[in-house]
Amino acid sequence: MNPPILSGILVALIWGIQPVISRYGYQQGLTPYDATLVRYLTSGLLMLPYAWRRGLIGACGVGWRRGLVLFLLSGPLFSLLLIGGVNYAPASHGALIHPALTPLFGMAISRFVFRQHERISPWGVLLLLAGLVLVGLNGILASGLAPAGAWRGDLMFVLSALMWAWYLVLNRNWQVAPLDAVALTQVLSLVCTLVALPWLGETTFSKPLPALALQSAYHGLLVSILSVALFNWVVARLGVRALMLNALSPLFGVAASAWVLQEPLPVSMMVGAVAIVAGLGMALRGDRAQSGQSGQQHPRTRTSQGGDRA
């Protein structure tokens, strides 16, 4: 197996078990504010030199109007929704709902807002919707298998997927260099955390240090920076085929939630997971077919889908 494919699988693993790491932090007593604070203190400081070289005063070449929109969609608010969702729902729900809804929302935004006709397999859409229904019913109806009020977490995952889809579509249409958008978002998020530090810092840093260090390293370094840079490298070598590897993320997330967190996986959840992964694969094959026809006309469009996995 060649290095780009192995790297793409590694990115899918990092993104797939992100809800598991967030849920583990919650079990260790961390709040979404704690995890978000240490995340952006880490990623913001690490990306500050790059942002400075790119021209922080000029919004890293992104432009302040567009940069602020991307920041609102993928910064602390997005993180609070995605991490906060696991306070109510199992990590397996986050591992399935977010990646399943993102392409559906993205397709709808492209078609109805920007009048761009994305080619996506209708069978893939049906499988995604069927899987989501099974996961949602598990959160609402499963007695003893899902925490009470899991639907609240599921709703937060839905909102985070909508924000992420808007971020990706805008990033693509504006043809923003991915690392420039990442750098600007992380540095602006760092400013927000520094403002909040006097009020939240004492409470946050009184929490268990190993739990804080894990959130900092995983979300602040692996998710926000390394996985994005690695994914852009993979896309540069594999083209849109790299997107096919994203379909592995839910599998990694569900497996890790059962193995690491000992979350129960009823039959409905397992069937829903299979349907979502199959639907993602079919949907991305449709996207691959379209991109194969237009890729030479829009070379930057492909790489901009890496974005900031905030």
In the chain, domain spans: 3-303
Extended beta strands in the chain, E state = none
Task: Supply the mean pLDDT for the chain.
Answer: 84
Q: What is the crossing angle of helices 3-16 and 227-238, to 10°?
A: 140
d(CA 95, CA 101) in angstroms, rounded, equals: 11
Tokens in use for 164?
A: 């992420």
Tens digit of pLDDT for each residue in 254-310?
889 989 988 887 787 788 888 888 887 777 665 555 544 544 444 444 444 444 565
pLDDT tens profile 189-216: 999 999 999 998 889 999 999 999 999 9
Q: What is the pTM of this model?
A: 0.84
pLDDT-based confidence at residue 116 (cuts at 50, 70, 90): confident
Burial of 209 per CB tally in 10 Å (0-12, 13-18, 19+): exposed
For residue 67, what are its two tokens?
């940069």
**30 near 215, Cβ under 8 Å?**
yes
Residues 225-259 pLDDT 10s: 998 888 878 877 776 566 667 778 888 888 899 89
Q: 107, 120 in Cβ contact below 8 A?
A: yes
Residue 165: count of CB within 10 angstroms of its CB:
21
Which amino acid, 1? M
- Residue 61 makes CB contacts below 8 A (sequence gap 6+) with 54, 55, 177, 180
